Amino acid sequence: MNKINEVFANRGDKKLLSLYFCAGTPTLDGTGEVIKTMERRGIDFIEVGIPFSDPLADGPVIQTAATQALKNGMSVQLLFQQLKAVKDEVSIPLILMGYLNPILHYGIEQFCQSCAEAGVSGMIIPDLPFDDYLTQVKPVADRYDLRVIMLITPETSDDRIRFIDDNTDGFIYMVSSAAITGAQKSFDEQKQEYFRRIDAMHLRNPRMIGFGISNAQTLKAAQDNAAGAIIGSKFVTLLNESKSADEALDRLFAALQN
């Protein structure tokens, strides 16, 4: 069974926590250590960002991290080398998150094969058109037992959500708002209604809520309305400031209780 499916199958009542960081930051060679530290500290999923020069869905924090990673020398090829080096030391699911351009340049078949060889369980490609996913990416990913995680937003229609639910596996990434990534202090009633609407659809796939989660209030809102939460910008900021994954996690866990 794919590791992503295993986590959801075995979680019981546990609310899951997935963290995102950009490969190649804060240091070029530290990707493996960040991953191992997050697993040791109890994180359930890790989203490893592939830096790209034009990350349209990302706010300034992740854009800055991507720019720094590229300046540091990070590439898709180097990332796979780093992941292979820690493959036997990591047991939790790794999900690559990146834009379509670098993946197409690498080659979809080669990308999926490299994912499998490096112990990656799935991928998130925010700008992948769903029709292209169905015809070009899904058949290849399925051969390598990889999960392609699709995003939905408050603007996604119920029909579209059900179509996504019927044609994907792993989990559905619920974007908390139609805006770019970035920490928020709270989720307003409109967002809460969106969470409740999707919950009432009783989808086949579990859901994880991301974008804007940075404190106890936003974390609780996500956990109350989904299988768990995804945190990106807040952790990227703390990791960049501290240069230490352990210290960044200490500060994150403290922030999530306030």
Active site residues: 47, 58
Residues 6+ apart with CB under 8 A from 188: none
Angle at 209 between CA 89 and CA 102, to 5 degrees: 60
The structure tokens listed for 131 are 């029709």
Q: Name residue 209's beta-bridge partners.
A: 174, 229
Q: Quick one: DSSP state of residue 89?
A: G
The structure tokens listed for 190 are 């409109």
Kindly report the backbone phi and psi dihedral angles of residue 56, in degrees, each rounded to the nearest multiple of 5, phi listed first.
-65, -30
- C-beta neighbour count of 185 within 10 angstroms: 9
Residue 251 identity (one-letter amino acid) = R
